[in-house]
Amino acid sequence: MSSTQGGLFDVPNMLLGLGAFAAVTALGIAARQGNITNALMRRG
């Protein structure tokens, strides 16, 4: 990972990918449980 493309903002791309995967998984679990849709429906 010594190339310029190996990291973005001096953070390895693998860490960014793991963080994005965790965020999408958490959103999917919350949506599956109905937490997100209930909050959006309450707002109108």
Torsion of the alpha carbons at 18, 23, 27 and 33, rounded to the nearest 10: 70
> Residue 6 has which token pair?
């190996």
pLDDT for the residue 20:
92
Among the residue ranges 23-27, 31-35, 40-44, the one predicted with the least confidence is 40-44
pLDDT for the residue 5:
63
pLDDT for the residue 3:
64
Distances (CA, A) of 13 to 10, 26, 30: 9, 20, 26
Under 8 Å between Cβ of 37 and 31:
yes
Question: pLDDT confidence of 10, banded at 50, 70, 90?
Answer: confident
Q: Is the pLDDT of residue 6 over 70?
A: no
In DSSP terms, 11 is beta-bridged to 8
* Mean pLDDT value of segment 17-35: 88
